[in-house]
Copies of this chain bind each other. A is one copy, B any other.
Amino acid sequence: MLPTLGFVVLWTSPKKTDNMLAMSEPNPTLVWETITAHQRSAALKAGVELGVFDALSKGPITAAELARNAGVAERPMRILCDFLAVHGLINKADGHFCHTPTSAAFLDSHSPASMAPTLPFLMNDKLIKATHLLTETIRQNRTALDEPLAGDETREWVTFARTMQPMMRTAAEFIAGVILRAGMPAKVLDVAASHGLFGITVARLAPQCEIVALDFPSVLEVTAENARAAGVRITLLPGSAFSAELGTDYDAVIVTNLFHHFDRTDNITLMKRFHAALRPGGLMVILEFVPNEDRISPPVPASFSLMMLANTPGGDAYTMAEYCQMLDAAGFGTREIIDVPGSAQQLIVASA
């Protein structure tokens, strides 16, 4: 007779890893999955780097063929692909691997929506290191990175500019639509312009509009390249959003994924600068991760806070109530929040 256990354990197949299941019975699989979750990130990156997802576009394929394709041995490729299949990133049937709808749309670089090109930024060494330093970061109440990923010119922002367009295309089209809905703009400021896609998309729909792209000099080289490739004219404004001469009389200021890097005081400073640059009634259009007031939903915007905790001195994912306080303090008038279709992000539109 074995001793009995004083608790119920369930090492059954994990079917969910979110809030929904956390409720009923103790689930050691959830703990194990979380302890080992870093392997999922690494496996996805390895799959991209070794051409696994691209090779699946030709149809079902064996680990041996994928290994030959990547110039590696079969054993590690088989283990990688099995792992990707366990975690729902690819399919396996009869010893052959093939795309899921998700991997076909978002991991195969043949797809226009592929997120594979974003990995050199989203999984760069600094971001991974920041995650590894999380406890120390919490103790310091600021990133434990020596060189934070926030308001300074670092090479990661050039990587960002070179890689992040695929995730921003939908939002760029949506933002341009929102700006044009208010009338044909004559002058638009694209703050932290990066790849330039937001300004470029406006320029395509409003060819007479002057687009001013603000970013660090090293980043604006990428902006300029992309504008040339798109056949649109962009005015380059090198510098920091905190100190550059922004100019005045803008119909719209586009502020995408900037405020989450800073604390509220810094954001109010920035918002006041943008307010002063707008014509009366002009629009500040903010693209952001905006969690609900409970701060634990929806999962993607709510989780984004931790990325800012890990990588910045004082950033956060702010709720709409917090945005309203900051907008009030900076003198903005009406504001609305809109879900961006096909994105986990929201648009906050505030009028000067």
Measured between C-beta atoms, what is the minimum distance from A174 to chain B in Å?
7
Given contacts A79-B309, A83-B303, A309-B80, contact A72 B102 (CB under 8 A): no
A309 touching B76 in the complex, CB below 8 Å, given contacts A30-B89, A135-B46, A138-B46: yes
What separation, in Å, do the CA atoms of A87 and B132 have in the docked complex? Answer: 18
Q: Does A229 contact B (CB under 8 A)?
A: no
Nearest CB in chain B: distance from A288 CB, A: 14
A45 at the interface (CB under 8 A from B): yes
**Complex contacts, A16 vs chain B, CB 8 Å:** 15-18, 88
Which residues of A184-212 have CB atoms within 8 Å of chain B's CB atoms? Answer: none
Total copies of this chain within the assembly: 2
Complex contact B306–A22 (CB within 8 A): no
Q: Which of B35, B49, B86 contacts A296 (CB 8 A)?
A: B86
Minimal beta-carbon separation of A117 from chain B (angstroms): 12
A58 beta carbon closer than 8 Å to chain B: no
Please give 10 more A-B residue pairs, beta carbons under 8 A apart, in addition to A38-B131, A45-B134, A79-B316: A2-B177, A9-B342, A9-B343, A18-B88, A19-B88, A22-B89, A33-B299, A38-B41, A46-B135, A80-B134
Can you report 24 residue pairs joining A to B where beta carbons are below 8 Å apart?
A: A2-B177, A5-B170, A9-B343, A13-B299, A17-B17, A23-B100, A26-B101, A26-B106, A28-B106, A32-B344, A35-B123, A36-B122, A36-B303, A36-B307, A37-B37, A39-B303, A50-B138, A71-B139, A72-B141, A76-B137, A76-B141, A77-B138, A82-B295, A87-B299
